[in-house]
Amino acid sequence: MKCGGCRQPAVIDVRRHNAAFCGPCFVRHCREQVRRTIHDLRMIAKGDRVLVAVSGGKDSLALWDLLLDLAGDLSIEVDGLYLGLGIGDYSDESGRLARRFADERGLRLVEIDLPTDHGFAVPEGAKAARRAPCSACGLSKRHLFNQAALDGGYDVVATGHNLDDEAAVLLGNVLRWDGEYLGRQFPVLPAGEGFVRKVKPLVRVGEREMAAYCVIRGIDYIVDECPIAAGNKHLAYKEVLNDLERRSPGTKASFVSGFFDRAHERFAGTAAESREGLRPCASCGSPTPGEICAFCRLRSQAGSARAADASRAAGAPVDTPVAIASPQRRDRAAEPDTHTGPTDRGAANPAPDPIEVNR
């Protein structure tokens, strides 16, 4: 197998493009895919400050690397944001890898740690709120990514959702004909009152390609899946789609691009309606349809559960009101190395959540 660009031995084939590449040509190919996606969908404008949600996984670290490469041409600033989810060893390791990527390149990594800064870890918050863990996790990510970008004066949050992620989410949304989610599923969501722009520059590149990109570029990433992902419906959707892709290369790309080009518009109104009539959360100021936003409710429920546990342990009556502490955000550029970690398949890929408006 020879590289289609330079005729040197190829290291990877991309069947849906009917092409094979050597290492350097493949890196150029990925950069071109991402550059074109950003340009075609007007994801990022000249002079923008971009915050990349990194989780220590291949997609988000590859995205950070790719955006850094484009930063000169696009005249943009690109920093990282790492959210610690408190998922045991998995979070510790993913945090370590995100920090290492930043340190080795002298990059700025903003860090938020859910347990330290907001008083609960994902598994704990999910249990207290009686939500599925990925629901509590996705909700926290959307809220905190947006808030960190607003606090830091960033114009846009970029996440590492790749073609496989988008195809799996789309399949799930179509199977349920969920109009609101379908309306929100688009690689660029414009800024609005209380919301920064959100973009997904990897929507045209596959998961396998991002893994190959990291290997070729020498990027060390966490290989393990989030332990909570086991049994997640999206993994089952990915398996189905992988099978279809094996039989007919290009299926995922045409499924996703066909939706964006020809069907998304039909659902956009449903999603837009959900953004109307929002008001600031009484606790944190984020836009919400109710009085308290979903994240503050989750934080409060987790706080109550923890206080109740403590009371039980101390033998006291369980009747504890909830204090909503003010969050703190740490900036790694200003404050070195005191953090515990979070996750990839995670931080960069929030699963969709029923509730709230959050985009």
Residue 352 interacts with, from Zn ion, ligand Q46, none (CB under 5-8 Å by kind): none
Residue 283 touching Zn ion (CB under 5 A): yes
Residue 137 touching Zn ion (CB under 5 A): no
Residue 170 touching ligand Q46 (CB under 6 A): no
Q: Which of 102, 226, 256, 281 binds ligand Q46 (CB under 6 A)?
A: 226
Residue 138 touching ligand Q46 (CB under 6 A): yes
Q: How far is the CB of 53 from ligand Q46 (least distance, A)?
A: 11
Q: Which is nearer to ligand Q46, 287 or 350 (CB)?
A: 350
Q: How far is the CB of 225 from ligand Q46 (least distance, A)?
A: 7
How far is 330 from 31, CA to CA, in rounded Å?
A: 31
Residue 160 touching ligand Q46 (CB under 6 A): no
Q: How far is the CB of 232 from ligand Q46 (least distance, A)?
A: 6
Only one of the segments 21-29, 34-42, 132-140, 270-278 lies at the binding site for ligand Q46 (rule: CB under 6 A); that segment is 132-140
Residue 143 touching ligand Q46 (CB under 6 A): no
Q: How far is the CB of 230 from ligand Q46 (least distance, A)?
A: 9
E-only strand ranges, the chain: 12-14, 19-21, 49-54, 77-84, 109-113, 156-158, 188-189, 197-199, 279-280, 287-288, 330-331
Listing DSSP states for 277-298 in one string gives: T-EE-TTT--EESSSS-HHHHH
**The tokens 């999910």 sit on which residue?**
126
Q: Do the Cβ atoms of 197 and 189 come closer than 8 Å?
A: yes
Residue 343 touching ligand Q46 (CB under 6 A): yes
Q: How many residues bind Zn ion (CB under 5 A)?
A: 6
Q: How far is the CB of 49 from ligand Q46 (least distance, A)?
A: 25
Q: Which residues contact 170 (CB under 8 A, 6 or more apart)?
A: 182, 185, 255, 256, 259
Residue 345 touching ligand Q46 (CB under 6 A): yes
**The tokens 């996750």 sit on which residue?**
343
The DSSP output letter for 318 is: -
Only one of the segments 3-11, 98-106, 168-176, 342-350 lies at the binding site for ligand Q46 (rule: CB under 6 A); that segment is 342-350
How far is 158 from 101, CA to CA, in rounded Å?
A: 17
Q: Which of 163, 296, 351, 357 binds Zn ion (CB under 5 A)?
A: 296
How far is 190 from 352, CA to CA, in rounded Å?
A: 18
Q: Which is nearer to ligand Q46, 236 or 333 (CB)?
A: 236
Residue 87 touching Zn ion (CB under 5 A): no
Q: Which of 229, 241, 296, 298 binds ligand Q46 (CB under 6 A)?
A: 229
Only one of the segments 65-73, 104-112, 322-330, 339-347 lies at the binding site for ligand Q46 (rule: CB under 6 A); that segment is 339-347
Residue 168 touching ligand Q46 (CB under 6 A): no
- CA angle, 55 as apex, 49 and 57 as ends, to 5°? 115
Q: Which of 33, 162, 185, 349 binds ligand Q46 (CB under 6 A)?
A: 349
Q: How far is the CB of 284 from Zn ion (least distance, A)?
A: 3
The closest of 187, 136, 193, 191 to 159, measured between CA atoms, is 187
Q: Do the Cβ atoms of 172 and 129 come closer than 8 Å?
A: no
Residue 281 touching Zn ion (CB under 5 A): yes
The closest of 5, 12, 1 to 205, measured between CA atoms, is 12
Listing DSSP states for 185-220 in one string gives: -SSEE--BTTB-EEE-TTTTS-HHHHHHHHHHHT--
Q: Which is nearer to ligand Q46, 25 or 97 (CB)?
A: 97
Q: Which is nearer to ligand Q46, 129 or 137 (CB)?
A: 137
Residue 128 touching ligand Q46 (CB under 6 A): no
**Residue 30: phi, psi to the nearest 5?**
-65, -45
Q: Count CA atoms within 13 Å of residue 99 on its CB side.
A: 21
**The tokens 């189905």 sit on which residue?**
240
Q: Which of residues 232-251 bind ligand Q46 (CB under 6 A)?
A: 232
What is the binding site for ligand Q46 (CB under 6 A)? 122, 133-134, 137-138, 226, 228-229, 232, 343, 345-346, 349-351
